Amino acid sequence: MSASTPADETNPAVPAVKGTQANPFVLGSRASKLALIQANLVMNALRHAHPSLAFTIATVSVEGDRNKSQALYLLGGKSLWTKELEVALLDGEVDIIVHSLKDVPTTLPEGCVLGAVVAREDPRDSLVVKEGLGYKTLQDLPEGSVVGTSSVRRVAQLRRSFPHLLFQDVRGNLDTRMSKLDAPSGPYTALILAHAGLARMGWAHRISSDLSAPEFLHAVGQGALGIEVREGDKRMEQLLKGVGEETTEWCTAAERAMLRVLEGGCSVPVGAATSLQNISSNESEAIVQAKLTLQGSVTSLDGSVHVQKTVERTVRSAQEAKSVGEECARLLVEAGAGSILEEIGQDRQGRAEKVTEEMKGAEGVPQ
């Protein structure tokens, strides 16, 4: 059956042509507001690149969305935000999945691959201060202020630099968290949230300041959108050309390779910051060479032990970018990251119930 055979609705034995109004390509997304904003970004890019094809979005509920009572830190499941979407992908119910890249485990299930990574928003974390308070930075916050975040990475790094602040878990989607912050009798003076999520949800005006490297490193993949496809789906690979962005693909390839070696998911206190400079491109604007700088860090949960390394190298492919990430992970392990992560693993397994309330959130609840 050739791909151009017209759909025959009266005869189910004749497969419908994909990409028509009657049988559009389906983008799989979680149902949250941010996930749908992101899926729409990708759908618009696909429609722009392929004006004659039809695309639609289908939402899939994932375990992380359903299981709201259990602390993520204790669940520790790496595919909490992706598994049901991947089942739908492999079953052919959806043709691609749009994810927040930071929620995508570094190892994908058999038959699934990352088809493209879309241009990144600002990857940093941001400080959002309670309405009516004039503080601009974490330095400005008075002793004992309660900072809401449900990410162990953020808490670990912040404890180190701001021992006078208190950190407390905050859950719910972004809009819920913002109303918890602004509630007059609420406990929080400020929240730490991803700049990207805030910007995409229209909350950028509430950002007081951004937390920057080298003092503070963001999550691996933060701010980027990852598009997952079926391995060997040549048609989709072809359609995704022009939707992905190489600078982001190389930077996030390095970050994810680092995390893969460290064997962490998004629920470990691993930080990253990556830049690509001196970029030279060929006539079709593909990058041929660039200087990649990756900063990586691992911090103990209480902030008392912190290792941080920087690797800078000229790279000529995403594959070479990965080796920069692996090199950075090796340097981190040599500097003691292994024992920090091991201790956290034991903590999660053996003493999970003793984890303090504020540490329960892992990297947090994806929006």
Ligand X SMILES: NCc1[nH]cc(CCC(=O)O)c1CC(=O)O
- Is-catalytic flag, 103? yes
Sheet containing 190-194, strands listed edge to edge, beginning at the edge strand earlier in sequence: 166-168, 146-148, 190-194, 125-129, 207-211
C-alpha distances out from residue 277 to 135, 225, 247, 249, 293, Å: 34, 21, 9, 14, 8
Least Cβ distance, residue 362 to ligand X (angstroms): 8
Least Cβ distance, residue 330 to ligand X (angstroms): 26
Give the active site residue among 103, 125, 140, 233. Answer: 103
Nearer to ligand X, 228 or 363 (CB): 363
Least Cβ distance, residue 255 to ligand X (angstroms): 12
Task: Give the position of tokens 């509430």.
Answer: 206
Q: Is 189 in the site for ligand X (CB under 6 A)?
A: no
Distance between CA atoms of residues 56 and 164, nearest Å: 49
Task: Give the position of tokens 């060929």.
Answer: 282
Nearer to ligand X, 78 or 102 (CB): 102
Nearer to ligand X, 19 or 325 (CB): 325
Least Cβ distance, residue 43 to ligand X (angstroms): 17
Indicate the DSSP class of residue 164: T
Q: Is 364 in the site for ligand X (CB under 6 A)?
A: yes
In angstroms, what is the C-alpha Rg of the chain? Answer: 21
The residues facing 194 across adjacent strands are 125
Q: Is 193 in the site for ligand X (CB under 6 A)?
A: yes
First to last CA, the chain: 42
Nearer to ligand X, 72 or 329 (CB): 72
Within 92-151, the residues that bind ligand X by CB under 6 A are 100, 102-103
In the set 28, 105, 197, 264, which binds ligand X (CB under 6 A)? 197
* # of chain residues touching ligand X (CB under 6 A): 14
Q: What are φ and ψ of residue 297, in 5° steps?
A: -145, 155
Nearer to ligand X, 57 or 193 (CB): 193
80, 58 Cβ separation under 8 angstroms? no
Nearer to ligand X, 228 or 327 (CB): 228
Region for 138 from its dihedrals, namely left if φ exceeds 0, alpha if ψ lies in -120 to 50, beta otherwise? alpha
Binding region for ligand X (CB under 6 A) out of 51-59, 193-201, 327-335, 351-359: 193-201
Distance between CA atoms of residues 28 and 93, nearest Å: 8
24, 56 Cβ separation under 8 angstroms? yes
Least Cβ distance, residue 46 to ligand X (angstroms): 19
In the set 71, 117, 196, 311, which binds ligand X (CB under 6 A)? 196
Within 209-238, the residues that bind ligand X by CB under 6 A are 222-223
Helix and strand counts by DSSP (H, E) for the chain = 11, 13
Least Cβ distance, residue 301 to ligand X (angstroms): 17
- Site residues, ligand X (CB under 6 A): 100, 102-103, 193-194, 196-197, 222-223, 363-367
The residues annotated as belonging to the active site are 103
